Structure 1
């Protein structure tokens, strides 16, 4: 692996040969003249990065005047379903030695039972060793594996298995937080016993009935114990330590398990699941229960984020996650997601407009999450010029004991059109800091841990990170797009300098992601298709990185549009390509040639060259 260059913060001398256009113009990334492609238009596409928070659940965003508007530059209704093989092998035959029997029989099964016919029609093997076999000593995809030749003896017609590695990997290289089939069936049939939530929800219901009568509501608080005593006091819950932690924000679509696992290898301390909706969790939807899954390496430091608008759903989902998962460090309530679909349902950032409902939801989660601490993520407000986070945080602290509060420094209406307001984040941090100091002096609550405060928004460099954590009251920073575009951002935070990663070093990271993706989704044709799709989603962010070695001054801000540029070698140029067809070419270096059935549509029209 090449040695990485470390780039000083001082701007380098400007080459005497100036390009025809002003590359120092406002809003233009300061790329050295020799790397600018002349006579090419400046890319003026504005990326709408709400997908990072909303993903495939997103609909058209509202305009500032409240009327509907088009999603600028975006491809709507992307069809990303991957195709299965034309000749499919029955799952009972993927391991010839399994002894499993097909319940339909060879004559009635929709898949073939002719192994020879399947292998003849199967796509050509991908070069190299199967990533799954290499990691755990055997491959569950068996004969379906696209790297079959690396763990199959053609003479004996048996799969090769490394029993020693199998045993060694059981505890260290495995996925956790998988719900049992029995629990899923009980949820689907509405027979799951919510021992805590069923007793606590009536108390929350009574709060709704008494919201118009504050006197009754205060009296009702005294009767809370008549409904349920929480099994865990706040002081007895798992302890969070976010002070100075390197945190990857909850991200939808791109924040999948392989990406989070990659970020752990690159220095992340805390990761979060993609946003899960409480109601589908309670309905035992497979896709939703796939979201709390994590790799063993993520715990401790793994949080599950949920969204809901109902206190009963929040309470039940919290209890289900507590009872059915084993490796969750915190349960985070999403009160910041800006997408219309959730907002219209009263979820996400809509909860900031309904503080009483938000308080009930947090109370229900805290009472029913067992020893898992509850945290919350909010925005500065929902409308520009009407920040209400400071008042809301004051109320959250007074009425609930949350372990941590994260504030994204933008309103819902702003989306990503303006820079995050770190001045306001600092004001809210002061509210939390003062509250913690007051609590230390209150003997009745002094045994409860301090509420931690995390800032979020526009952290793209080690300077941004250290400037943010130096704000009084800010315990740490949650990094979103900065960790997508530059996955090694936490290495820079540790080194406190910009790192000029070479193209080969960046390819090594993509190789690691590809291996983790195959381990997670499987090494058969369908799993490889999913891995390729999510790798393209990942590259849709990483291609936006401008190597520091071709910049005249640092840093380049995300809102600075780059002129067309070329890298220091062909691979660096390819990694910066805006054309999604080039992204697919990059995946082919690790996942073999894409089949004719592979489907990928980029989010942004400008990438559909």
Structure 2
């Protein structure tokens, strides 16, 4: 018999262990930073269990205290080349600021001290165990004979796209360099290939001029300004006839009614200022979202960046959404926040998620990204903390409940008037771009209110799609999602649509989606148009293939490793870069991704199907050595897997896992 919460792994694959390891905290799956315990320090003595999966058992109080929670305040410094070559010189040009530039301009000296090239392995080269570490080599393959004919290194990005923008700093330099003599080198370019691939490159719509105007607060926002004046005018009239504690949402069941007409009808005064823009888009003129039957990748933090979305699209994700961004940071022209808007052409339907109550942000997005985003999602379900871009999470301090305490995220569930004004204003500012809303069932256990709120979101507040996560804010992930309540909420929305002959609004559910069987069962029983997949995608990104093909995929270790290999190419190509700093940022990202993926228990090892997301496996071995390695909860093994693709980790590089249960020793 297996304890409750333990997947039924076949006895033949179980491994006896002397002492159990800690169970990871599921809150990490959506960006939560634990507030229990402290970071593991170099020199701390911890038992090296080397188990291949978290297990359950009785612990002493000392063991619980030592292993509970997460490593707080993780710090990851960048690893750079010993000689920091100027980027202008590295790209084959001349630095115009040579006298003031802090970087090195001696190309020959840089090449002499530069680490040896890496070699990106082919799929067949990473299937043998013990796991080989990819080799490093001189750009010529022969240090004594710098001949172009002896080049062995292949730059995977240059070979496919012709992109060589990291120049001499590229760790795959041998793939795009030519030596003219023993001491002189020049970069090779492929203009034809670059011109062809430029059409399919990444999209980053915000201009430098627009960012400067945002930072200097000179960006013109006529729609948001007019809307704010109308709200103030209505509040002024409303306060004369009603108690100050009462606020009326500026909204009407008539979807096509103009805001000025609403105010004039209710107050008897035309409130539109003289500078209000003309020809506003009516709700009926917005793009309709036909999302029934489509798969939806939720915004996920820590590893849910653009390369991860590309990987999920390759597995079958139809709708993708960028990591949650803060409205105020967008308005401040934050480079980090605006990076969340980047979209790859492979993303068929792409949206941006906002946390915050700033209608002006929606107007900026419509102006700057109107051609590249398909919808804007308002997050009313964030239970815990500020979500940050992937490259920011590496160094920020825990900010528990920040979003909630500022009145955003799930706090909006208890302030319907505020939520209504925000959604209505965002809908107006976005023009024809739809606004969608993500909710939780409520804030506190036993006090669900989504069934009262959801029927109003479409006809009164102009939302174009609703997503409901089947938990309260208070529950986090301590309980299973309440799909019976999701069904109740869907029925309430459909009933109002039928009574008032309203257009059908798409509704997605969310919570515990981890298998094809579970997905389609939830769709059939609850009546939702689909299920937003979040935590499950971090553990098994191929879940979209399972959903599309209505099957449980017993994916092999080789197939999983090929997915990791594809992720590497996407990371190096699209995100972190191919110089020394970029390669090691890529290495760290992979270790973070493996901190989720190792939790997957191959379905071929289970007594019964399907697997469940909240189950935590006992120690087990896989059907081959690679499958056993991919199931390891030891962070040293994650580093080992990264070395298959990126060579040995530098001595100055370190990785501290998020969960203390994975920190068997200080990494170095």
What TM bracket, shorter-length normalisation? 0.7 to 0.9
Shift of residue 197, structure 1, vs aligned partner: 1.4
Q: 1:323 matched to which residue of 2?
A: 367
Q: Give the alignment partner of residue 355 of structure 2, picking from 275, 295, 307.
A: 307
On the 8 A contact 1:35/1:566 being kept in 2, the answer is yes
The 1:74–1:494 alpha-carbon spacing in structure 2 relative to 1, beyond 3 Å, is: same
Q: Give the alignment partner of residue 338 of structure 1, picking from 371, 379, 383.
A: 383
Distance 1:131 1:455 in 2: 40
The 1:370–1:48 alpha-carbon spacing in structure 2 relative to 1, beyond 3 Å, is: same
Measured against aligned partners, the alpha-carbon deviations of 1:161-200 in whole angstroms (never above 9, x if no partner) come to: 222221111112x111331100000001111111321222
1:1-150 alignment runs, 5 A limit: 22=1, 24-49=2-27, 51-54=28-31, 72-96=68-92, 98=93, 100-103=94-97, 105=98, 107-128=99-120, 129-150=154-175
Measured against aligned partners, the alpha-carbon deviations of 1:426-448 in whole angstroms (never above 9, x if no partner) come to: 111112212332343xxxxx5xx
Structure 1, unaligned stretches of length 5 or more?
1-21, 62-68, 441-445
The 1:46–1:602 alpha-carbon spacing in structure 2 relative to 1, beyond 3 Å, is: closer
1:233-382 alignment runs, 5 A limit: 233-298=282-347, 300-308=348-356, 310=357, 313=358, 315-325=359-369, 326-339=371-384, 340-382=401-443
1:492 aligns with 2:546: yes
Distance 1:217 1:337 in 2: 23
The 1:142–1:400 alpha-carbon spacing in structure 2 relative to 1, beyond 3 Å, is: same
Q: 1:605 matched to which residue of 2?
A: 660
Measured against aligned partners, the alpha-carbon deviations of 1:437-472 in whole angstroms (never above 9, x if no partner) come to: 2343xxxxx5xx532110000000001110111135
On the 8 A contact 1:331/1:372 being kept in 2, the answer is yes
The 1:544–1:181 alpha-carbon spacing in structure 2 relative to 1, beyond 3 Å, is: same
Q: 2:263 matched to which residue of 1?
A: 220
1:144-183 alignment runs, 5 A limit: 144-155=169-180, 157-172=185-200, 174-183=201-210
Distance 1:86 1:354 in 2: 55
On the 8 A contact 2:68/2:661 being kept in 1, the answer is no
Distance 2:406 2:296 in 1: 29
Distance 2:234 2:113 in 1: 64
Distance 1:52 1:28 in 2: 19
Q: 1:594 matched to which residue of 2?
A: 649
> Considering only CA atoms, is the larger Rg found in Structure 1 or Structure 2?
2
Taking only aligned residues, the RMSD between alpha carbons, in angstroms, comes to 2.3
Q: 1:482 matched to which residue of 2?
A: 536
Q: 1:443 matched to which residue of 2?
A: none
Distance 1:70 1:596 in 2: 27
The 1:76–1:208 alpha-carbon spacing in structure 2 relative to 1, beyond 3 Å, is: farther
Shift of residue 499, structure 1, vs aligned partner: 1.2
Measured against aligned partners, the alpha-carbon deviations of 1:318-370 in whole angstroms (never above 9, x if no partner) come to: 01111111310110000111111111111111111221111111111111012
SS in 2 for 1:196: helix
Shift of residue 387, structure 1, vs aligned partner: 0.7
Say how many residue pairs are matched: 561
Structure 2, unaligned stretches of length 5 or more?
38-64, 121-153, 251-261, 385-400
Segment of structure 1 superposing worse, 84-93 or 131-140: 131-140
Distance 1:217 1:589 in 2: 58
Shift of residue 132, structure 1, vs aligned partner: 2.3
Q: 1:198 matched to which residue of 2?
A: 225
Q: 2:281 matched to which residue of 1?
A: 232
Measured against aligned partners, the alpha-carbon deviations of 1:570-604 in whole angstroms (never above 9, x if no partner) come to: 11111011011111111121222222232322111
1:361-510 alignment runs, 5 A limit: 361-440=422-501, 449-510=503-564
SS in 1 for 2:553: strand
The 1:239–1:110 alpha-carbon spacing in structure 2 relative to 1, beyond 3 Å, is: same
Q: 2:134 matched to which residue of 1?
A: none
Distance 2:21 2:636 in 1: 18
Shift of residue 555, structure 1, vs aligned partner: 1.9
On the 8 A contact 1:408/1:420 being kept in 2, the answer is yes
Shift of residue 208, structure 1, vs aligned partner: 5.0
Segment of structure 1 superposing worse, 87-96 or 202-211: 202-211
Shift of residue 48, structure 1, vs aligned partner: 3.0
Distance 1:215 1:146 in 2: 60
On the 8 A contact 1:333/1:374 being kept in 2, the answer is yes
TM-score, structure 2 normalization: 0.80
Shift of residue 71, structure 1, vs aligned partner: 11
TM-score, structure 1 normalization: 0.87
Shift of residue 390, structure 1, vs aligned partner: 1.0
